[in-house]
Chains A and B, each alone.
Chain A
Amino acid sequence: MGSYISLPSYLNTVDQRYRLVGKSCEGCGAILFPPRLICLECGQRKMEDIKLSGNGTILTYTVIARGGGPTEFDDLQNMTGDYAVALVELQEGPRVVGQMTYCEPTDLKIGQKVKAVFRVLYEQEGVIRYSYKFQPVA
């Protein structure tokens, strides 16, 4: 089964998916990703856009084996084998879930340094969805 995200919803997230644009709270300084309308820390609404570096560390990860992911990723799985999804703590603070690329899931380690890269996520209805993924750095 797929996890359908409508194109209008996807388009609303282009800035975060393509450039890692989050929010910085003018009240308490918290940095939020994905961006929110209300600060999760102090509850106020004044927030500025902030472009995150994409550098971070793997806190934990899971390996998606055959049949474990939404159907949008079936071809990826057929052609590249099992893939990993990691919970990454960005250097600015926010924790974000992202697919790993340019690596074998068996080579990953908790604490591994990663950076965000711009990649094809999947294709649906003839439209290509792009997003950040994470890639290990030496």
Chain B
Amino acid sequence: MGIGIIGYGAYLPKYRIKAEEYVKAWGNFSAPGVMEKTVPGYDEDVITMAVEAARNAINCAGIAPDSIGTLYLGTTSGPYGEKPLSSTLLAALTGNEDVRTADFMGSTRAGTSAFLGCFDRIAAEGKGAGLVVASDIPLGPLDRASEHPFGAGSAAYVIGEGAPIAILEGSYCTSIETLGERFRRAGELYTRDLELRVNFMEQCLQKSIHGLLGALNLTPEKVDHLVLQQPDAAKSLKAVGKLGFPDKALGLGMIAAYTGDTGVASPLLSLAHVLDHAQGSERIVVASYGSGSDAFSLLVQDGIVQRRAQSPEVPTFKDYLEKKEYVDYLTYLKFKKYLSTFKS
């Protein structure tokens, strides 16, 4: 018993674009290791994707939506710069308005910030279940390589008391000043990247993961699954290459080859895929990235098997991965509204 994750859910839009479509359009595809990536439908945005993942998580947990007392949403690409996105999300889930809601934005680390913040809140005050949703459709300028990996996806977690499927063993967060990598000035629509030859990610991930393992007195061999922020399908693996994790810890959590960079959703979506397969007493270390890194360790509980069995109607990450429809580059541009000039 105690506080932990009591339900989780993933969501991927069904459209995909293959690397070769970029090669046809631009002559290259600059997303190492990514073979195809997710594309939202024209009528999908960060909030609609968040609703899908949240409903899956709520169904997995088997709770009434009205029992949610905390709702945190993490994203970098919401449709409003000002106007709470979490209020729309809440209204799509429940009529209960007496809920503490907050939007975490401005960093690919926002999802894990929301996740750890929700754990803190539930541990400190209880007040019903906590729902954390990470949802993102990062947008870049079409004529820059940094746009190539950008996909779309969302993941949601219900945190509360009851029979947890995973408990939080500990966390270690770092915040490091980085400049010139993936930023967006106020009012801008697309991310910028100065493509500096500095490996900020390696610095940040090594610091947070070292810190976490040290604080918990663990060695990399004690970690069954490592789940990382994945800007593409190679960079994060390289960033942790020197840390000595066994190869088997790096399999399940690596999803970017088939999704692209899902931004804020990346680590929590990868975690959902790991939880679809994890067994009791396994240890999962999650590390996000964005001017620093949030690392935390989860201990999977035996109840996870039963929880999965109790909610067979909730689609798994793999279900979403397999349900796909390919689009060409022009359709990609239309669905992501790069060509929309009409404003009503």
Contact = CB atoms under 8 A, between A and B. Distances in A.
A14 B344 contact: no
Interface string A99-132: 0011000000000000001111111110010100
A53 to B, nearest CB: 12
A19 B342 CA distance: 29
Contacts of A47: none
A117 B340 CA distance: 23
A121 B344 CA distance: 13
A44 interface: no
A72 B44 contact: no
Contact of A76 (B42, B79, B95): B42
Interface in B43-74: 43-45, 47-48, 51-52
A125 B43 CA distance: 17
A82 interface: no
B91 A79 contact: no
Chain B contact surface mostly: loop
A76 B51 CA distance: 21
Contacts of B342: 74-75, 78
Interface residues of B, number: 26
B41 interface: yes
Contact of A102 (B14, B80, B91, B94): B14
A106 B300 CA distance: 46
14 contacts: A2-B344, A19-B91, A19-B95, A71-B344, A74-B344, A75-B337, A75-B340, A76-B42, A79-B340, A102-B14, A102-B41, A118-B92, A119-B43, A119-B48
Interface of B: 14, 41-45, 47-48, 51-52, 79-80, 88, 91-95, 334-335, 337, 339-340, 342-344
Interface of A: 2, 14-15, 18-19, 21, 49, 71-72, 74-76, 78-80, 101-102, 117-125, 128, 130, 133
